[in-house]
Every structure is written in structure tokens, then in C-alpha cells.
Structure 1
Amino acid sequence: MSATTLFSGRVAPAMQPVPPIVSPDTPVAEACRRMAEAKQTSVLVADEAGRVVGILTEQDVVRRVAFRLDPATPVQAAMTSPVLHAAPDEYLYRAVGLMRTRGLRHLPVLDADRRPVGMLLRFETYAAASGRLLAAVERLAQPEDERGFAATRAAQAELARTLLDERVPAADVIGVVSEINIDLHRRIVERALAARPSPPPVPFTLLVMGSAGRGESLLAPDQDNGLILGDYPDEAHGEIDAWFISFAEDLNDRLAAAGFPLCKGHVMARNPLWRKRAAEWREQFRLWADRRSPVALLFGDIAFDFRPVWGDPAPAAALRAALARILAARPAFLAALAGQLGELSVGLSFWGGFRDDEAGPGARTDLKKSGLMPLVASARLLALKHGIAETGTRARLEALAEVGAISRGEAEGLIAAFGDVAGALLRQQLADVAEGRPPGTLVDLRGAAKAEQTAVREALKRIGAFQKEVVAAFSGSLW
């Protein structure tokens, strides 16, 4: 199992087949025989409806059955109940963390009706993982409340450092951190819903946007989120919106308590601009595309990276398709985005040295604004032009190569450049954390090793050239 699979994969691919299943009144001798015949180390105990109510393992047999119980004793007298379990779509690191912290060798995988679909076994699940990675799992396994979620967020720096030491590519490390953040968002939504006095009056889908929507969050993400609300008649707006106002306020506050600061630009579900029905989202996108104002361009930069993370994903997919149609009919908006892209520049001086983005001694370069963003915005612009649904920068570059918008070699070079720049930024953030500073976006490239300086310099040159190509493709001239 790879480190990235451990932290960003799901339970289902790692689970083993379901062991033998017996009824609660099955004699323990029969349960042990079934276990031995199947060459398994456990049996599950299920009721008449097939719902798992207990588990009997080899250890249970040694501790509770051998020389203590009559062979005819019903297995329910010896089984462990209630059963700790995982869901097939749960993140694997959470299941492994539960097994580690509870000392479990077996963890049943149950569906929503508590019927078995597989089994996680300790050795098969994480025998290939190093001790440091498993220790990182335990640090992530925190209580299911906002304080625990904040502790999980705080543990991400050590996780990122461990993954880098394990030679996991920096871009993959950032992807792992992002997926853990998405997992936290889902769990916080569940807690916020559980605290409500009534269920949602209509279904909704939670969107994350910006770097979270791209799966490219570093160590200091804030909130960029919104809600697609299920359809309802206009006359019901007051009552329905009142429920969602309260819910969104609580959700954003819970996210903040868990370590995701409130967005300074108010791109959050508590703002009605980012909380509306699907038809209203479509109309909002049309208005932005028609007006092409600076605010519309700024909002487009954030919103067009949207990704569904809770609720039915279908409304988000439909909104993505609608966005493609809107932009295809309004090429002037993409041209305006290209003009905005042309205002960005990579962090290199005229002579090829690193540009200073802060004044005074020890000047550093802002590798987010002057490195990642020109690449992110260029890939986004081309992806929007070609109707590509992917939101991650690397996925967009790969998709652009598939449709022939860029060459395969250019895509591979830009993906490598993304990794070099993101890696330098991530390592600087880890150094900031180690020295007690909040992680930022300014990087001391002059203090970096020569090899890293060379790699980042070449990456910025490649990004800058790509940025010019994209701007030229929309403006018809070089700049």
C-alpha cells in the first residue's frame, strides 16, 4: 500500500472478503468450525435481516471460549458486541486510525444497513506502512468534535513532513492534505446537521471552491464554500432561507473552530451570494459572464473551481455543464479572464534571478502569487475554453493534452513545474511551522539548496512561457 493510498484512499479497495456469517444462536463449536474451514480468523454474527450484531475472533476464542464455555453455548455469549466498523466509502486513514487506537486486528466493513461488505485485517491493511506513517495516522485520529477536528488540522504539518521524508512527491502530499480537509468538511456538516432541531427543508449540496476545490490546499487554507439548494417555490423562500441562514452560520463557525479561518472575502455559505438554488447559480454565472466586471472576474476565479463534497453531486455536475454552455456562448468573458491573467507574472527578475516580494533584509518570493497562480489560472482558462470538467491543475493539464489543446510533453513539463514550485512552498511552510511562525506563501529561495533553486527557476520559466502562450491564444498577440 502506498502512503498516498493510506491517507487519501477509501476503505473499499483495501478490504478483504466477508468472513463466514453465523446467527446469534449458533453454537460456539459450530462457529469455530466454520472459521477453521474457511481459513479465516473471525466470523461475523448477523440477525435474521443480515445486520451484523457481533464478531467472534480467534482471540475471543482463546480468551472467552476455550476451557470456559460449553461447545453448545450460543455464539452470542462469546461474541464482541456492539461491533466497531467502517463504511466502504470512508477514508482509509480513519479506519486504520480506529484499528490502531483500539488495538483491533479485525474491522468489519458494513453498508448503511449494517450488512457486511468486507473486512479490514490489520496485517493486510497496513503492514507495508512505516512506523512513522502509522504514528501519523494515530495523530490524525482525534475525537469527533470541533476540538478534535482542529487537532487533526494541526497534525497535518507533521504528516506532510513525514510523507516528504518517505519520498512522496510534494504535489501528492498536497493532495493528501486536501483530501483530509475535505473529509473534515464532511464530518463537520454531519455534526452541524445533527445539532439542528429539524432536518433540512430541501436537499442541498455543499461546494468547496478555490484551492480546496482544486484539491491543492497547503497548510493554511481558509474557507471558500457555498450551497446549492434543492428547488422550492418562491413563496416558500422566507421559511426555507431562514433554516439555511442559521445552518450556514453554524457550519462556517464550526469550520473556523476546526482550523479553517473565515474567508476575508466572505466567500462562504453564510453569504447569500454563495447559497442559492441551482437556477439562481446558473443565472449568477450568466450575469458574471455578461458584465465582465472586475468583481465578476474575481468571483469567477474562485467559483469556477467548485467541487461537491457533501450531498448529491448531481446538481454540481449539472451546474458544471451549464457553466460550459454559458462560457461557450460568451467568449468575451474568457478573453477578459485572459486579460486578467496577463497581469500576473512569475517570480523572476529581468535577469533571471528570484524576485523580491517583500521589502527589507531576507527578502523572499511569493511562490503562490508569483508561481502557482499563473499556472493555475492558465490551466483553468484553457480548461474552461475546452469544457473540461476537472478542477485540479494537474488533472486539467492532463485533460488538455488528451483533447490536443497542449502537447503531451508540455503537459508533463508543466505538471513537473507545478510539483517543483508547490514543493518549495510546502517545505517553506513546514519550516515556518517548525520555527513557530504561521505558514505563509513567501519562500526564501536564496537560502534553498542549489538544486532546488535551479529546479524552481526552470519551473518558473516554463510556467511563464505557458502563461504567455495562453494569453496570446485569447488576445491574438504576444505581450
Structure 2
Amino acid sequence: MTLDQPMRSRVASLMSAPLVTCRLQDQISLLAKQITTHTVSSLVVLDELEQPRGIVTERDLIGKVLAQDLCQEGLTAGDIMAKNLLTVTPEAFYYEALLLMVKHKVKHLIVVHNHNLAGLITIRDLIISRSTGALAIVSSIEKQDTVDGLVKASEEIEQILQALVEERAYSKEILQSITEFFDRLTQKVIQVCEQEMLTGGHGPPPVAYSWITMVSSGRQEQFVKTDQDNGIIYDNVPPDKEEAVASYFQLLAEKVVEGLSRCSFAKCKGNVMASNPLWCRSFNGWPEAINAWI
């Protein structure tokens, strides 16, 4: 796999413009005709002030209308559009658009210039630009369902680092990019380990929780695979459930730490890791521990 095109191309040179748009009140039959007529995969939905409010894709028409047998329900663009719009500027770099898509798991970004709609950039635009190496790495991480698969996928991230260095990217750009990819890898390791807990008979997480990373990764300054510095904060539970919940997260943390270790994130020699009960606590338990430390 090679990253054969600069990752620092500008969004302006990759985006689609002018856009094919529709209105909030447009019927789905009109949306289907526009997509077919203009041979596009999506429409940007505008309000009465010409401001973007959402996006309707071919997948929306299929999944939210046809698959639900709702063709005769009088649905409009406003009913089925995706509303979580993310924007970039025409001056943004390729890698910045890619990181937004990776971080938020979207395939479309609105391009805005001086508060005006300038274009749209999609996963397809990035592929056409032939900078497919980074996209392939993202896809490789996302499709894995075992730690073994993630170990192999993690090795490919080094290609992103090499490409950015060769293109003389600024240090801040390199650090943010590599941190984002390592964050996605960590999230996937956690997902795989949660599934292992399910299949092992331990069930899903009993309460909401957050996995926290510290030091260089927490500052978005990850450059190479450093040792682990992490922890878990889980929601408060009644006293009679504290032991069971703590045991669950302790076991989950041990699995995640071991998975990250196999992906070449060395275990912390100081044992500052979620697998250590000192770094795996309830929401109320953390302030108590911090106050005791200081």
C-alpha cells in the first residue's frame, strides 16, 4: 500500500462544486429525480435563508423510505435528512478533511467560505484524489473484529506518519493526525474487548463509562507508539452494586490494556493504566482519590 499523493492537498481542489441542492419541504420523489438526473450520491438541504440544514443521500432514500415502505407517506427532505453537518473551509488540507470523517464517522463534509456554501467533499472525492492509502488504513481498522486483526492494522498507521514527514507537514499537523488514528485504534480495541466480555458471559457494560488517555495522547501530541497511560471513569452505582461493577470494569480494563499492548503500546512501567484499580474508579471515587493524592 502506498500513499502516492500529497495528504496536504487543499479541499478546494478536491471538493464538488457547484452543488445540487434541495429544499426542506421538497418531496422525496423530487429528491430521487434530482439524484438520478444529476448523477450524484447526495443532496444538500437548504432552508429559506439558503443555509445548509442537512444532507440527503441515496442510502437515506433506500433505508429510510423504500425499506420502510413509506413511499406514499408524503415525506420531505426535512423528514429524512441527516442533520449532523460538519464543515471545512476550502483552504483546509486533505488530511484535515480525512480526520473529521474518521473522528465523526461521516462520509460528507460541507465546504463553507465566508459563511457561504462553497461545495461538498465526500469519501468518494478523497478516493478519486488517489490518496487512498490513508482511507484504506481507516477501513482496515474499522472492519476488524479481533485484536489479532487490529495488531496488523495498527502497523499500517506508520505509513501515515511517513507520508506526513516526507511532505514536510508541520509538527502540529503530524501530532494531531497520528493521535487521531491512534484514538480510532484504541476505540476499536475497546469495542472488540466489550464484545469479548459479552461472549464470555459477563454481559455489556453495567453503567456508562469513559476511557481516558493521558500524557502525550491526551494532549493530542502522539508521534510514535508510546507506553500506555490510561484509566476508566464509570458512573456511580448503589453501594450494593459497587463490587460487581468494579469487578466488571477491572476485567474489561485488563483486556483492553493487553490488547493495546499487543498493538505495540507498551505497558506503563509505573502501572498508570486502567488495569490498576487505582486508575479504574467510579465518578465519585476519582475526586476522593485525587484529594488524597494532593
Match of 2:40 in 1: 41
Match of 1:255 in 2: 260
Match of 1:151 in 2: 152
Matches of 1:190 and 1:88, distance apart in 2: 25
The answer on whether the counterparts of 2:228 and 2:265 sit within 8 Å (CA) in structure 1 is yes
- Change in Cα spacing, 1:51 to 1:234, as seen in structure 2 (3 Å) is same
Matches of 1:264 and 1:34, distance apart in 2: 60
The reply to whether residue 276 of structure 1 matches residue 281 of structure 2 is yes
40, 64, 69: which one aligns with 1:51: 64
- Change in Cα spacing, 1:4 to 1:244, as seen in structure 2 (3 Å) is farther
Number of equivalent positions: 221
Where 2:197 maps in the other structure, the secondary structure is: coil
Matches of 1:236 and 1:147, distance apart in 2: 34
TM-score (structure 1 length as normaliser): 0.39
Offset at 1:4?
6.6
Amino acid at match of 2:290: F
Matches of 1:206 and 1:15, distance apart in 2: 37
Where 1:200 maps in the other structure, the secondary structure is: coil
- Change in Cα spacing, 1:204 to 1:165, as seen in structure 2 (3 Å) is same
Which of structures 1 and 2 has the larger relative contact order (alpha carbons within 8 angstroms, sep 6+)? 2
3, 9, 16: which one aligns with 2:7: 3
Offset at 1:264?
2.0
Higher share of residues assigned helix: 1
Matches of 2:173 and 2:60, distance apart in 1: 40
The answer on whether the counterparts of 2:164 and 2:174 sit within 8 Å (CA) in structure 1 is yes
Query: Percent identity, aligned pairs only?
Result: 22
Offset at 1:171?
3.3
The reply to whether residue 122 of structure 1 matches residue 124 of structure 2 is yes
Matches of 2:85 and 2:281, distance apart in 1: 31
Offset at 1:19?
7.2
Matches of 1:192 and 1:18, distance apart in 2: 43
Amino acid at match of 1:135: G
Matches of 2:16 and 2:232, distance apart in 1: 33
Poorly superposed stretches of 4+, deviation over 6 Å? 14-23
Offset at 1:172?
1.9
Amino acid at match of 1:263: C
Offset at 1:163?
0.9
Match of 1:92 in 2: 98
Offset at 1:108?
7.1
The reply to whether residue 195 of structure 1 matches residue 196 of structure 2 is yes
The answer on whether the counterparts of 1:4 and 1:176 sit within 8 Å (CA) in structure 2 is no
CA offsets per residue over residues 7-56 of structure 1, 9 Å max, x none? Answer: xxxxxxx8997977987xx7xxx88743355x3424626579x72668xx
Matches of 1:52 and 1:150, distance apart in 2: 39
The reply to whether residue 179 of structure 1 matches residue 176 of structure 2 is no
Where do residues 424-435 of structure 1 align in structure 2 (5 Å cutoff)?
Answer: none
Amino acid at match of 2:277: P
- Structure 1: which 5+ residue stretches go unaligned? 7-13, 55-73, 75-86, 97-106, 110-117, 290-479
Matches of 2:213 and 2:59, distance apart in 1: 40
Amino acid at match of 1:134: T
Match of 1:229 in 2: 234
Offset at 1:220?
2.7
Where 1:3 maps in the other structure, the secondary structure is: coil
111, 126, 135: which one aligns with 2:133: 135
Offset at 1:88?
7.0
Match of 2:170 in 1: 169
Match of 2:293 in 1: 288
Match of 2:49 in 1: none
Amino acid at match of 1:204: Y
Matches of 1:182 and 1:34, distance apart in 2: 38
- Change in Cα spacing, 1:262 to 1:207, as seen in structure 2 (3 Å) is same
Where do residues 392-407 of structure 1 align in structure 2 (5 Å cutoff)?
Answer: none
CA offsets per residue over residues 370-411 of structure 1, 9 Å max, x none? Answer: xxxxxxxxxxxxxxxxxxxxxxxxxxxxxxxxxxxxxxxxxx
What's the RMSD between the two structures over aligned residues?
A: 4.0
Higher share of residues assigned strand: 2
Where do residues 239-250 of structure 1 align in structure 2 (5 Å cutoff)?
Answer: 239-250=244-255
TM-score (structure 2 length as normaliser): 0.61
